[in-house]
Structure 1
């Protein structure tokens, strides 16, 4: 019997997609119009570039873990859902051989998902803080923290937890 792979969830914005990179592509008037509610900008999610090392790390980790993107879509930007999927298809492939093929979960309640690890840059929003409480031995990895500043550290840590 093949042992079950541990389940790994990876947040998208600020973890695999550089949220701030999208603003360089926007007209200053649009940025001003949406000041304070930037995540509602139409088309914003399609403009993001990958976080350095994210594509390679997620591709590798998908061979070691049962891996899913677990992201939140702003309530007032419903086109964000399709943009996130299109972004994943563009950077990871749209075919069945892609590491994230049909492995996208959009939720405002990340703690409701069952799994072993959640990588998130905002560990206290959208249920990320409660993830470990709802999953015996579950762990939230705070991406961008002192301990896990980038993909090199996250990947090294998770390789040791397979």
Structure 2
């Protein structure tokens, strides 16, 4: 698992702040889960790979491109469904997806979601792009 993130381009300290936050919450030792597993970019679609899920709250910087049936990748919009957040059901949902017996990541997600009926993401046409994006 990797962290793929972006920050306002005009705020260079935001990039450093993201690494500091990860170090505070997950550690900065070689045995920590995200040690040297962070990609900071404004083009998240360049890191899209088969069988992967991108968890992102906004469709910009290539996030929406991750919803790709041909590549078997998926964009799961964080917070779009108020039940799919860290403090509620997101972790258990992702664990169920990981344990699913289906071959493709998309089939796993849709199969597990048949039990819950979460709204997994919305179209990018409904977003208001912020000045920093």
* Partner of residue 139 from structure 1, selected from 67, 74, 79: 74
RCO (CA 8 Å, sep 6+): is it higher in 1 or 2?
1
For structure 2, the 5+ residue unaligned runs are 99-133
* Partner of residue 6 from structure 2, selected from 64, 72, 75: 72
TM-score, L = length of structure 2: 0.64
Answer 1 or 2: which has greater strand percent: 1
Q: Supply the RMSD in Å over aligned alpha carbons.
A: 1.9
For structure 1, the 5+ residue unaligned runs are 1-66
Q: Which runs of 4+ in 1 moved over 4 A?
A: none
Matched residue count: 95
Mapped contact 1:142–1:148 kept (Cα < 8 A): no
TM-score, L = length of structure 1: 0.53
After superposition, residues 62-141 of structure 1 pair within 5 angstroms as 67-115=1-49, 116-122=52-58, 124-133=59-68, 136-141=71-76
* Partner of residue 85 from structure 2, selected from 129, 150, 154: 150
